């Protein structure tokens, strides 16, 4: 790479803004766009005027539903921002954003601290090893406590978080931000909405506190720079640039989380956050080579951030736009893509031509002639790209690691109101499935009803609303139902000899299968079940093995109790035979389906239900009633702690089936003062009495 390429890449920051709902994430993004000059008027969440929350549902509800991509310039460097949802029902949006980002800003409320979704998104970022900055917002609010939130970050998220600036005052007395690197006080002119800033000396009475905080900072980063360490040990002055360099090194190598503070709503502290994004978070050049895998032998392949190398990108999001059709958002890791170029989808082998390349500014679009490594943009004109697909120019055969999304846990029946609605519904659901990997639509084989499933009641409520507004489909919806699954509890061996006349000729297949339970711990990260072939090609020729595997795994999609998907099942082909004249792939598929189906029925099948992680924040006087109610709902209290002087935090595992209408229930128990969040935790086997109740409700009888 030449110096021009290095300079371009070093001036890019691909970052995400992530937080618990109501921490001020979208407000912070709006301020960043305003101070960078991208927006000339700030939007506000409370009046539905924000730039990044552009969907009608987002503006009406005051929440982020879909991740929005926007680009701004700050100090001649380009910041590509993805504003992600804070509600747990839309966690897939966070997941796919973090997969392609180089850095992230975690926004925390100075009153609420580390809230449940904060932990979820933080651990998602841990999984992808994304360097982060923590920004503690709402220092101006009653009950704000900067040090307490830092303590919570240490306790619940990481012990590597240290402030690089501290607030002067709090609540109504929040005056400005003390920068511990320059040891100056930043104040923000209210008449210009904070656009004009002032750099002042730290007040004498606050100076000892600032010096103490600076000592802690220097001690934490000294080990990442030898020169800084020597100066620190010798008690000599340390240049600001050297401190910033050490913090940057530590942040990029996951040894340090810089913590900043401010009040985005009151226009204080956001410029320092933007400076920190440039100073501490990595560029694509800092991240270095991306790791891909050869499809043939699964060996690792280094993909350098080089615009002259082969083109490699990942499709991380699909969006259906009413004006241009299908938009596929991509992150470019290597090479260059020009408008009109042909691309190869490495996931399915399809070749396509890119009609347009768009720089997305929330819901606005700017046409581009080409994309380079490090860029995030959207493609128009592709038919076969899906979320998680690897894209190349055909000069390299490589796959990037796939994204993993949680299974849906709740479903409702949906019935179109008119014949015209019926005709439009199928197309609309197909397009929504393409957009959202956690949304599924299917026809129940027993009832014939169309069911839609997702991550929670809000998720499905948004889907139904979008069907009406965007696709013009009016429909009646049923009451929410839990999405159950099935498993087995004992090992069974089953033999099947399939032998009959089919189409005037003989058909023969002989298989012996063993089905057994397998724990989540013994399954791989992407595995729901496992298939093992322990039969030699002498007994069953290799040409039939793929068909046997396919039929065995397909049999697990239709459980013996309630036709639910099966998980935690190990299916092993242990014996069999063939006839050189009469054996065929179809015969082996039929025999496999019969044998595995019969084995599952004999293996003591069980129903599994989704269990949620319920977090309730409540004043202390209501905690006893809330805990008693959780216990009555088959819940298990995991943690009881006091995050602040006003509230107790209850964390419990509770079956989803017990939590319908919980919003009304918890309001009733707490006089409207408690709040809660729900997050999917795991599938667990239902108690026998509950299983009988489910069977009676679904099948109408219990054997």
Pair 146, 170: CB distance under 8 Å:
yes
CA 87 to CA 78: how far, in whole Å? 28
Q: What is the mean pLDDT of residues 353-377?
A: 83
The model's pLDDT over 143-172, given as tens digits with 9 standing for 90+, comes to 999 999 999 999 889 878 999 999 999 999
* pLDDT at residue 46 in the model: 42
* pLDDT at residue 438 in the model: 81
pLDDT-based confidence at 5, cuts 50/70/90?
low
Residue 498 pLDDT greater than 80, yes or no = yes
Reference 170, options 207, 139, 208, 148; nearest CA is 139
CA 98 to CA 151: how far, in whole Å? 25
Q: Which residues contact 147 (CB under 8 A, 6 or more apart)?
A: none
The DSSP call for residue 130 is -
pLDDT-based confidence at 368, cuts 50/70/90?
confident
CA 588 to CA 549: how far, in whole Å? 10
* pLDDT at residue 473 in the model: 85
Q: What is the mean pLDDT of residues 345-358?
A: 89
Q: What is the mean pLDDT of residues 414-425?
A: 83
Residue 136 pLDDT greater than 60, yes or no = yes
Residue/partner pairs of 383-387 with CB below 8 Å, 24 or more apart: 383/326, 383/350, 383/352, 384/345, 384/348, 384/350, 384/352, 385/315, 385/318, 385/328, 385/345, 385/352, 386/315, 386/318, 386/347, 386/434, 387/96, 387/315, 387/316, 387/317, 387/318, 387/437
Render the burial of 654-679: b for 16+ CB within 10 Å, e for the rest: bbbbbbeebeeebeebbeeebbbbbb
Q: How many CB atoms lie within 10 A of CB 308?
A: 13
Helices marked H in 390-515: 419-435, 457-471
pLDDT-based confidence at 134, cuts 50/70/90?
very high
CA 601 to CA 594: how far, in whole Å? 11
pLDDT-based confidence at 63, cuts 50/70/90?
very low
| DSSP result, 338-349 | ETT-EEEETTT-
pLDDT-based confidence at 229, cuts 50/70/90?
very high
**Strand ranges in 21-102 using DSSP code E only, listed in sequence order:** 68-74, 77-83
* pLDDT at residue 469 in the model: 82
The alpha carbon of residue 116 and the mean position of all alpha carbons in its chain are separated, in whole angstroms, by: 14
CA atoms within 13 A on the CB side of 285: 13
* pLDDT at residue 201 in the model: 95
Backbone angles phi, psi at 16, to 5 degrees: -115, 150
Q: What is the mean pLDDT of residues 599-613?
A: 94
Tokens of 642: 């006091």
The model's pLDDT over 112-126, given as tens digits with 9 standing for 90+, comes to 898 877 887 888 888
CA 213 to CA 222: how far, in whole Å? 14
Residue 404 pLDDT greater than 80, yes or no = no
Pair 407, 92: CB distance under 8 Å:
no
* pLDDT at residue 428 in the model: 86
* pLDDT at residue 277 in the model: 97
Least confident of 45-49, 196-200, 241-245: 45-49
CA 696 to CA 409: how far, in whole Å? 20
CA 67 to CA 79: how far, in whole Å? 16
Pair 402, 292: CB distance under 8 Å:
no
pLDDT-based confidence at 271, cuts 50/70/90?
very high
Backbone angles phi, psi at 685, to 5 degrees: -65, 135
* pLDDT at residue 332 in the model: 92
* pLDDT at residue 87 in the model: 55
CA 65 to CA 208: how far, in whole Å? 44
- pTM exceeds cut of 0.95: no
CA 453 to CA 412: how far, in whole Å? 7
Most confident of 97-111, 162-176, 402-416: 162-176
**Strand ranges in 578-646 using DSSP code E only, listed in sequence order:** 605-618, 636-644
pLDDT-based confidence at 300, cuts 50/70/90?
confident
The model's pLDDT over 630-675, given as tens digits with 9 standing for 90+, comes to 999 999 999 998 877 778 889 999 999 998 888 888 888 998 888 7
How many helices and strands (H and E) does the chain possess?
18, 38
The model's pLDDT over 521-577, given as tens digits with 9 standing for 90+, comes to 898 877 899 999 999 999 999 999 999 999 999 999 999 998 889 999 999 999 999
Least confident of 49-53, 300-304, 389-393: 49-53
pLDDT-based confidence at 64, cuts 50/70/90?
very low
């Amino acid at each position: 790479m030449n110096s021009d390429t290095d300079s371009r890449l070093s001036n890019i920051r691909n970052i995400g803004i992530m937080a618990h709902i109501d921490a001020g994430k979208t407000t912070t993004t709006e301020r960043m766009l305003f101070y960078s000059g991208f927006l000339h008027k700030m939007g506000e969440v409370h009046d539905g005027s924000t730039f990044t929350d552009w969907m009608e549902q987002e503006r009406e509800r005051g929440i982020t539903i879909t991740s929005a991509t926007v680009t701004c310039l700050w100090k001649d460097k380009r910041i590509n921002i993805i504003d992600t949802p804070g509600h747990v029902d839309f966690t897939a949006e966070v997941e796919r954003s973090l997969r392609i980002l180089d850095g992230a800003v975690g926004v925390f409320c100075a009153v609420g601290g580390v809230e449940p979704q904060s932990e979820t998104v933080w651990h998602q970022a841990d999984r992808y090893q994304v360097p982060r900055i923590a920004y503690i917002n709402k220092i101006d609010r009653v009950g704000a406590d900067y040090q307490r939130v830092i303590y919570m970050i240490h306790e619940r998220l990481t012990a590597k978080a240290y402030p690089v600036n501290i607030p002067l005052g709090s609540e109504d007395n929040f005056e400005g931000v003390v920068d511990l690197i320059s040891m100056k006080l930043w104040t923000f002119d209210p008449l210009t909405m904070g656009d004009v800033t002032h750099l002042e000396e730290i007040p004498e009475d606050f100076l000892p506190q600032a010096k103490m905080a600076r000592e802690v900072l220097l001690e934490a980063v000294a080990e990442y720079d030898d020169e800084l360490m020597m100066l620190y040990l010798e008690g000599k002055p340390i240049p600001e640039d050297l401190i910033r360099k050490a913090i940057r090194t530590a942040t990029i190598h996951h040894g340090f989380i810089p913590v900043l503070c401010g009040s985005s709503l009151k226009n204080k502290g956001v410029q320092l956050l933007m400076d920190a994004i440039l100073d501490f978070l990595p560029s694509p050049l800092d991240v270095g080579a991306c790791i891909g895998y050869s499809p043939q032998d699964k060996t690792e392949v280094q993909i350098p951030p080089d615009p002259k190398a082969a083109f490699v990108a990942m499709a991380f999001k699909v969006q259906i736009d009413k004006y241009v059709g299908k938009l596929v958002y991509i992150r470019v890791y290597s090479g260059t893509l020009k408008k009109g170029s042909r691309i190869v989808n490495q996931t399915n082998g399809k070749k396509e031509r890119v009609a347009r390349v768009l720089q997305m500014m929330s819901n606005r679009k700017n046409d581009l002639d080409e994309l380079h490594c490090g860029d995030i943009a959207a493609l128009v004109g592709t038919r076969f790209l899906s979320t998680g697909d690897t894209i190349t120019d055909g000069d390299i055969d490589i796959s990037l690691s796939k994204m993993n999304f949680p299974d849906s846990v709740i479903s409702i029946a949906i019935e179109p109101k008119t014949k015209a609605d019926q005709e439009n519904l199928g197309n609309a659901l197909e397009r929504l499935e393409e957009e959202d990997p956690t949304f599924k639509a299917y026809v129940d084989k027993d009832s014939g009803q169309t069911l839609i499933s997702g991550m929670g009641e809000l998720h499905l409520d948004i889907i139904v609303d979008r069907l009406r507004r965007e696709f013009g489909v009016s429909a009646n919806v049923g009451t929410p139902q839990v999405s159950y699954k099935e498993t087995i509890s004992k090992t069974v061996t089953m033999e099947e000899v399939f032998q009959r006349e089919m189409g005037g000729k003989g058909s023969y297949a002989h298989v012996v299968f063993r089905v057994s339970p397998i724990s989540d711990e013994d399954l791989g990260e992407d595995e729901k079940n496992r298939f093992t072939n322990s039969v030699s090609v002498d007994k069953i020729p290799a040409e039939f093995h793929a068909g046997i595997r396919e039929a065995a795994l397909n049999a697990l999609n239709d459980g013996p109790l309630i036709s639910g998907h099966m998980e935690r099942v190990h299916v092993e082909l242990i014996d069999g035979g063939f006839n050189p004249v009469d054996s065929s792939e179809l015969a082996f598929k039929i025999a496999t389906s019969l044998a595995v189906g019969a084995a599952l029925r004999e293996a003591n099948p069980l129903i599994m239900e989704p269990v949620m992680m319920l977090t309730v924040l409540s004043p202390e006087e209501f905690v006893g009633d809330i805990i008693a109610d959780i216990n009555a709902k088959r819940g298990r209290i995991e943690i009881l702690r006091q995050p602040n002087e006003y509230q107790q935090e209850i964390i419990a595992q509770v079956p989803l089936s017990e939590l319908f209408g919980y919003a009304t229930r918890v309001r009733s128990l707490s006089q409207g003062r408690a709040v809660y969040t729900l997050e999917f935790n795991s599938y667990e086997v239902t108690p026998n009495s509950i299983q009988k109740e489910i069977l009676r409700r679904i099948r109408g009888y219990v054997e």
